[in-house]
Structure 1
Amino acid sequence: MLSMSDTPVENFATIFAKLNTPVAFLVPTPTGYKKSIMDAVAPVRDLLSESKVHDFQTQSQGPENKHVVPAFFVHSDRVVETQASLYRPITKSGDPRIWFYDLKKYCQPCNLLALTVIDGAIYVFNLSDTFVADSLVKHDYAYNILSSGDNSSLIEQQLLELIRQINAAGPQRSITPGDPGVGDTLEHALGIQRNNSKNPDYMGIELKTTRLTRNGKLRTPTRSTLFSQVPDAGMPYREIVEKYGKMQVPRGSSDARLQLYETFRVSRPNAYGLVLEVNENDDRLDMKYQDGDKRSYVASWTMKLLKERLRTKHPETFWVGATSEMIDGVEYFRYVRVMHTKNPNASLLAPLIEADKVTLDLAAHFNVDGKWRDHGVLFKMNKNDFPLLFSEPEEFIF
C-alpha cells in the first residue's frame, strides 16, 4: 500500500517518533477513492483497537452494524470536523473498511494520510499536502496538535554518570576474549551479572555496546541490532539455511561450508534470492523466495510480535561506543560515547521496514562436521536513522 504513495513516509517518521505518537498510514488507491472505500489495513485496525476507538474483530458484518466515530481533517492552520465510517461489508469475508466523509475535498488518490487518535477522535494529516507538511516540519499548527511533554529519567542520569566515571578511570581490561568483550567488560564495570535474558540490562535500561576502533584504527560504521527474532510461521530458521544456503569458503578457511550470511530488505532480493514483503492486511512481515517474476512464501513474522520485541527490548537504551587498543596482547576498552534513546514508536516499524530503514540479517551456517552454528535473525538499523523510530535521541561524548 505504501508503495503507491506519492510521498515517502520516512520524511515524517522522525516527527512521530520524536513525539512518540502512535500512527497508522493510509494511501487511497484510485479505485478506492472513486468508490469511497479504503481497506482498514492492520496498522489502522491496531491503532483504533489500542486507542479503544473501535475493534473490528468484534464487529458484525452488514451496514446495520456500521460504526461512526468523530474525526478531523488537519490543515496548516485549522481542523475541519468530519466523521469516519467503520464497517465490515456482507460481501467476501467482511474485510474491514474505513471511509471519511468529505475525504475527496481533502486529498487526492495516492496521497499519504497519517492517522492518529486524540481524545477518542481520529485526526487525519495529509502529508502529501505541502502546507500540512510544512506546518509539521516547522513545528507550527499541525505539529502543536501532536506535541506533548516528557519527563527525564533519574536512572538515566545515574547510569550516564557511572559510565563517565568508568571513562575517567582509564582503559578497562577486557574480561572476555573476542567480540563479546566490549559489552561484557562494560557490564562487569557496572556490576551487572552476565545473562541471556531478553530483558533490559540496567534498571530498565538496555545497554548496546560496540567498538568504534579496533587496534587503534577507526571501524567502518555498522548497523545496530534492534532485536533478534526468528520467524514464528512457515519454514523453521534452520531449514531456511538448509534449503537456500550456499556452499562457501569463509575468510581464513580452506573448507567450504553451507551458510547463509546475508541482509534482507523489501526493495530487492538478496544474493540468495530472498526478499521481504510487508503484508499489511494480514499484519505480517513475509520472507519470500524470488525466481524470475514469481515469489513463493518461505516464512513470516507477525508484526504484533515484532512490535512487542521492539517495545520490550528498547523502552530506554544506551548505545555505548568504545575505543579499543591492544596492550601486551590484551584488549582494553575506553567507553567514550553514549547515544540515549527511549520510547520507540512501534507503529512506525512496518513502514520503516518497507522503506529499507530497518533491515534483517540472517547469520548461520553448518560446520564441515555438520554442526549447526546460529548467530541470530537480527533486525538492524543505522544509528543515523534512529530519529525515525525513537523519541529525541540524545548523544553524549566524554
Structure 2
Amino acid sequence: MDATEPVRSFFKRTALHDYEKQGRGARKNGVQLKCTIVGLDESHSVIASLYKPEAKPNKAGDPRIWLYGLPDHAGPDDLLALFVVKGDLYTINITRVDVCDALDGNLRGPLSEILQRRNEAETPAKMLLHRLRQLSRRGPIASVMAQAADTAVGRALEDALGIPMNSSQGPDFQGIELKAFRSSHTPSKQNRKQLFAKVPDWDVSRLNSMTEVLDLFGYFRDGADRLNCTVSAANINSQGLTFEVKEGAGLLNECSTKDPIGPFATWRLEGLREALANKHHETFWIAADAEVIDGREYFHYRSVTHTKGPLLAQLDALLREGTITMDHMIKRSPSGSARERGPSFKLAPHALDRLFPPSEEIFLT
C-alpha cells in the first residue's frame, strides 16, 4: 500500500518512523516493525514492512507500507485505521469492526481496553464544565469591550472565568482550548470557527515577510494600508488571492493571479497539522446568546460542544475544498512594517464533525 503523505506525517509525528531519512530498496533499507491487528475479541501480531522502492527511470516511487498476513484480516476496499500507543503500531479494520461497540462499557476485549484509555484524564474538563454551568446560571454577562468585535464573546468569557488575556498558541485552561461564539439559528449567519493562527514558512516562500505581502496586495482605507480578506482554495478573492494544496510535496501555497507573481507564501502541511493538534487536543466550543442592553452587548453562555483529538489527516481535504479558509488581518504600523493578527485559519460552521471525532454537546442551563 502507498504510504501517503498524511501517513508519513503521522509516523514521523509519533516518532514511529521517518521515511525522509530512509534509503531506497526494500531488501537493503526496509524497516520491519511489530504491528497488532486489533478486533473486538482478539488480536493478531504481524510484521509491518516500511520501505521506499527502488527508483524508476523517470519516477522516484512512492513510499510503501505492507502488513504481512493482511489478506487473512482484510479484503479489497476495506478501510484500515492506523494508530500508535506508547510507540507500538496498531491497526483496526473498521469496515469489519464496529468501533462504537468497543466504547461500550459493558464490552471487554483488546480493542475496548485500548480505546477507553482516552478517558483517563477528564478531571480538568469536569472542573471547567462545573464553572461554566455556574457562569450560565448568572445569566447575561456584560462585554468587557466597548465595541461589538468578533472577539468580544471570547474576551468576556475569559474575564468571567478569571483567565488572563494572552497571545499564546497553547490551550487556555489546563490543556483545554476555549472557543466562544455567538449562536445563531440561521445557518447562513453562523460564523466560521477559528482554529489557529500561523504565519507562512518564510524559508520555503517566495516572499520574506508580511510587510512584502502588504506592499503587493494591500489597499489604503481608514487612514492606513491594510489587507483584510479571506483566502480559499475554492475561489479567487477580490485581491486575486487563492490557495493551492500540493499534497505530494506536503505544502500549502497562497497564490496570486497577478502575472507573474504566482505562489508567494507557503506553509508546510505538517506544520499546520502540528498547530491544529497543539491548539485543539481538547476543546470546548461554547455557544452564547448575544443581546444589546442600553448600548452594551451581553452574552449568556448556553451550551458546550466538547471535542477531542482532531482528525489531522482531514486537514488537506478541508483546505482543498475551501471548508478551511484563512483570514489576513494586516495593517501597516507607524514604523512602516506590517502588523498581522493572523493569518487565522478558520473552519466552516457546520464542518466540526468532519475535523473532530464524534463530539458531545452539553447544555449548561
1:261 aligns with 2:224: no
Q: 1:308-334 CA deviation, whole Å, 9 max, x = no partner?
A: 211221222222222223333333222
1:275 corresponds to which residue? Answer: 242
Say whether the 8 Å CA contact 2:30–2:49 is kept in structure 1. Answer: no
Measure the CA separation in 1 of the matches of 2:62 and 2:178.
41
Shift of residue 95 of structure 1?
5.7
Q: Over residues 156-202 of structure 1, what are the superposed CA-to-partner deviations in whole Å (9 max), with x where a residue is unaligned? A: 12211212212212222222222243222222221222222222222
Tell me the residue number matched to 1:129. none
Answer 1 or 2: higher relative contact order, Cα 8 Å, separation at least 6.
1
Gaps of 5+ in 1: 1-25, 27-37, 126-131
Q: Which amino acid aligns with 1:48?
A: F
Tell whether the 8 Å contact from 1:341 to 1:391 is kept in structure 2 after alignment. Answer: yes
Q: Offset at 1:387?
A: 1.7
Q: Check the 8 A contact 1:359/1:381 in 2, yes or no.
A: yes
Residue 319 of structure 1 corresponds to 285
Of 340, 344, 361 in structure 2, the residue corresponding to residue 378 of structure 1 is 344
Out of 23, 26, 30, which is 1:66 matched to?
Answer: 30
SS in 1 for 2:341: strand
Please name the residue that 1:360 is paired with. 326
- Looking at structure 2, the residues matched to 320 and 299 of structure 1 have their Cα atoms a distance apart, in angstroms, of 33
SS in 2 for 1:48: helix
Deviation at 1:230, TM superposition (A): 0.9
Q: Is the 8 A contact 2:32 2:47 kept in 1?
A: no
Separation (CA, whole Å) in 1 of partners of 2:231 and 2:63: 35
Select the residue among 114, 117, 135 that pairs with 1:166: 135
1:186 counterpart = 2:145: no
TM-score when scaled to structure 2? 0.74
Residue in 1 that maps onto 2:51? 86
Residue 5 of structure 2 corresponds to: 42
* Partner Cα distance (2:187, 2:297) in 1: 15
More deviation in 366-375 or 345-354?
A: 366-375
Which residue is 1:308 aligned to?
274
Q: Unaligned 5+ residue runs, structure 2? A: 103-108
The Cα offsets for residues 351-393 of structure 1, whole Å up to 9 and x where unpaired, read as 3323433222223244899784533111111342212222332
Partner in structure 2 of residue 241 of structure 1: 214
Residues 75-125 of structure 1 show CA distances to partners (whole Å, capped at 9, x for unaligned) of 9xx9998964612525579665216489999888xx796552468567486
Whether 2:172 is the aligned partner of 1:204: answer: no
Match of 2:307 in 1: 341
Instruction: Read off the aligned partner of 1:264 and give its amino acid letter.
Output: S
Q: How much does 1:232 deviate?
A: 1.3
Inter-partner Cα distance in structure 2 for 1:389 and 1:353 = 11
> What does residue range 84-233 of structure 1 map to in structure 2 within 5 Å?
84=49, 86-90=51-55, 97-98=63-64, 100=66, 116-117=82-83, 123=91, 135=96, 148-149=115-116, 150-151=118-119, 153-178=122-147, 179=149, 180-212=151-183, 220-233=189-202
Letter of the structure 1 residue corresponding to residue 18 of structure 2: D
| 1:330 to 2:299 alignment | no
Tell me which moved more, 346-355 or 111-120.
111-120
1:74 CA drift (Å): 11
Aligned residues: 341
| Counterpart pick for 1:296 among 262, 283, 289 | 262
Percent identity for Structure 1 against Structure 2: 28
Q: Secondary structure at the match of 1:308?
A: helix
> How big is the shift at 1:262?
2.0
Q: Residue type of the partner of 2:195?
A: L
Partner of 1:11: none
CA distance in structure 1 between the aligned counterparts of 2:292 and 2:13, rounded to whole angstroms = 51
1:244–1:260 CA contact under 8 A, matched in 2: no
Q: Distance in 1 between matches of 2:130 and 2:47?
A: 51
Residue pair 1:241, 1:260 contacting (<8 A) in 2 also: no
**Backbone CA RMSD of aligned residues:** 4.3
